[in-house]
Structure 1
């Protein structure tokens, strides 16, 4: 037993912090975690989980319409936003309880209050109590960026969007990344007029160009309006309670809600990192080595607060690797190569490995195979919406170095395909696999 109150003190009970706490405790460490809001973090409480439930809800708009083509006598249906909102928030409550129960079962002490660093081995709780620990792990995640413009206080972020009292008739979404495109699809399917405003000239930077262009075409066909190269000037609140957004390069836009989806920054404000000498990088993220150790020997950081890859599964793996290395006597590091990702837009995008442009820059000689098709369901439903699958291969070896997809259930299909890319399989291996017919996924092994 050390002279410290705990062997490990974790600040933040999100995906990375909970995994690190639970596994470290299973190795026999005395662990405490402080969480000022709710156990579960961004993903469970105000991110990917409630958002995916909204995505499911939004899909019913098209499914109910298409069902008539499949013989179902579906009457006119009205959408009840408060019912969906409350059911989603109820599921969040359930998950919050499960995460808390998991920590309790592993004998992790939970402080339901804010914690800041007072020194290399000291943490101050909001109550004023000082707690000591041999090691400190920072897992405070990231926070939505709000542009510094006049009237920014009239807008909301992805933190607040799940709590809207009523469904807005007109939504203006600022940003071009995955959050912006996901909520654009959600609100459009719910019947809102949606305008996406971006300060640059493209959406989904970092994804394959053909895939993001296809999403833009489909989104516009669904009625989503895009305004590019249009940074905000100010937001004005009108007498009737609605908002007017003033932008560079285009006319003002009147709306009921402005949703800022302009990125997320590491959540380090007010943590007291400077007190202990924890260094930040140029973007305000905590600098760490491959073992998630900061510039202070006994202080570590995992998840979005380090801004390595802002994905929940990455935070979980970093938390696991930390616990295995520091308390489990099983040194391990996270492999950041070939990490799959998805955008739950309408339709969704999924990708793993290099884009075509990245492969050409890195490998020089590449061969690209693609399949541009209408899903069978869309054909009978009378929808012209087309899917696009791409295999990017090293021309010399035939190795598949990237897979990029847009279409129904693309993320569900890509998870298995990502294993093949991670394993270094070749186009010949794909060709040698018998197609599963009739399915959309069979296109992956039929490209010639």
Structure 2
């Protein structure tokens, strides 16, 4: 006889675990399916977010990157760094996160089912592992099985010379040169990490622009940083062939006829849904050409009792948004009220970091929104100078009339942290006046908001002062003089506030 649950969650990544916990808080009977005990936490914990960010932190520490502007090359030991050193902290971080996850599941009385999940019908799933098979039924089923790297058959992967982003973490040694095929978020993050280690990195991508969902100026600054590390970009170029010659040589041939050589190659041209074994047709579900599920705005699939969340449903494929999707899907499934976040942040852990919330300049221009820009360079911020980050930038986009914050964009160390100040002000309906009038600790990177606010409001002031004054009044001379005096006081007030 099948075990019965209110909710069955397939996948223990960020979306699945948060969905299961949210349902348990509603006093529902919940089960969570994961393939193997050692993979609790999903791709995020084992081959994605946590490992790559742990490695990034090790690279910044061991290369002395953060102190480059203060102490120079004396603190750089790039040629002596090994992959074992980069992995040293990884196992302890992963184990700690797994322990925390198990504690959450136990505390919320969520049943953990180990094995491969396979749909028998829209309400029944078979969970099997060696020597054991069981059937589980559930009123609602949530699919959060994540993705895996795309591995085209014509790429001769060997895990050492030619590898994907999962295999990169297990490299035996750091190559002297590397070709990265695919400049999406994962590809560009790893490319810049290895360039920081002194590896000669060439990036190939068929698109003319990188990270087109980000602010264009921010991306240009990132590419400037990357080129300063010696990186070479081959944009608008498609790869046609990749071959391995000898033990440590890879040849990549481009459609344009170029031939590139390197010791190693990372193929990072997209990810596909990890859905092969789920037998989704039995549940009435179809996949797109990348193995991803379609969902509506409430994360409901074409089968009414089945929901999809996380990377398996596509963009933005971030751990932070996946967690929110899991909670929202459960609330929608069980008719619970939910106040959705209005402004979701994006964080890219490149070197330096990039983070954003709200609209870009390109979007506002296309929508014909009258906006102005306030900018603060980190070299203007005392804390930025102290920490050696003098090339970072904070941009505030705001409405010229209402002064409402429309977008916040940042590049530099701590960008993924300080973005949340702008996110909070946007979500609460704040304006540029908040940043102008509030007091920030000194010295802090948060002070960049005040500098950017003064910069943006100064532009409004100068535009108003340079515009011809046209007075239209039906009153007498005294009333006209009063209106002129009022305008003068407004200009003086803004000029004083902007000092």
**TM-score (ref. length: structure 1):** 0.89
Residue 261, structure 1, aligned to residue 268, structure 2: yes
Unaligned 5+ runs, structure 2: 456-499
2:419 and 2:192 map into 1 onto residues whose CA distance is: 21
**Aligned residue in 2 for 1:112:** 114
After TM superposition, list the pairs within 5 Å mapping 1:102-251 onto structure 2.
102-127=104-129, 128-147=133-152, 149-151=154-156, 155-249=162-256, 251=258
1:403 and 1:181 map into 2 onto residues whose CA distance is: 22
CA contact (8 A) 2:11 2:144 kept: yes
Deviation at 1:222, TM superposition (A): 1.3
**Aligned residue in 2 for 1:41:** 42
CA contact (8 A) 2:115 2:127 kept: yes
CA contact (8 A) 2:378 2:385 kept: no
Deviation readout 1:19-53 (Å, 9 max, x if unpaired): 12223234332222221141101222211111111
Deviation readout 1:418-437 (Å, 9 max, x if unpaired): 11122222122222223543
CA contact (8 A) 2:69 2:388 kept: no
**Aligned residue in 2 for 1:356:** 361
CA contact (8 A) 1:4 1:134 kept: no
CA contact (8 A) 2:147 2:312 kept: yes
1:86 and 1:427 map into 2 onto residues whose CA distance is: 44
For CA contacts below 8 A with separation 6 or more, give which structure has more relative contact order: 1
2:440 and 2:104 map into 1 onto residues whose CA distance is: 42
Query: Aligned in 2, Cα 1:160/1:3: closer, same or farther, shift over 3 Å?
Result: closer
**Aligned residue in 2 for 1:97:** 99
Deviation readout 1:77-101 (Å, 9 max, x if unpaired): 7323213314313321332233233
1:240 and 1:16 map into 2 onto residues whose CA distance is: 41
Query: Aligned in 2, Cα 1:323/1:379: closer, same or farther, shift over 3 Å?
Result: closer
1:143 and 1:71 map into 2 onto residues whose CA distance is: 40
Deviation at 1:367, TM superposition (A): 1.2
Deviation readout 1:56-80 (Å, 9 max, x if unpaired): 1111245378379459985967323
**Aligned residue in 2 for 1:331:** 337
**TM-score (ref. length: structure 2):** 0.81
2:95 and 2:378 map into 1 onto residues whose CA distance is: 41
2:347 and 2:76 map into 1 onto residues whose CA distance is: 34
CA contact (8 A) 2:378 2:448 kept: no
Compare the two structures and name the one with the higher helix fraction: 2
**Aligned residue in 1 for 2:373:** 368
Partner secondary structure for residue 277 of structure 2: coil
Query: Aligned in 2, Cα 1:150/1:188: closer, same or farther, shift over 3 Å?
Result: closer
**Aligned residue in 2 for 1:415:** 420
CA contact (8 A) 2:244 2:250 kept: yes
Partner secondary structure for residue 416 of structure 2: helix
CA contact (8 A) 1:10 1:139 kept: yes
Deviation at 1:283, TM superposition (A): 6.0
Query: Which has more radius of gyration?
Result: 2
**Count of aligned residue pairs for this structure pair:** 444
CA contact (8 A) 2:189 2:348 kept: yes
Deviation at 1:249, TM superposition (A): 2.4
410-419 or 80-89, which deviates more:
80-89
Partner secondary structure for residue 159 of structure 1: helix
CA contact (8 A) 1:152 1:234 kept: no
After TM superposition, list the pairs within 5 Å mapping 1:244-323 onto structure 2.
244-249=251-256, 251-280=258-287, 284-307=291-314, 309-323=316-330
After TM superposition, list the pairs within 5 Å mapping 1:4-15 onto structure 2.
5-15=4-14
1:198 and 1:139 map into 2 onto residues whose CA distance is: 29
2:73 and 2:251 map into 1 onto residues whose CA distance is: 42
Query: Aligned in 2, Cα 1:74/1:159: closer, same or farther, shift over 3 Å?
Result: closer
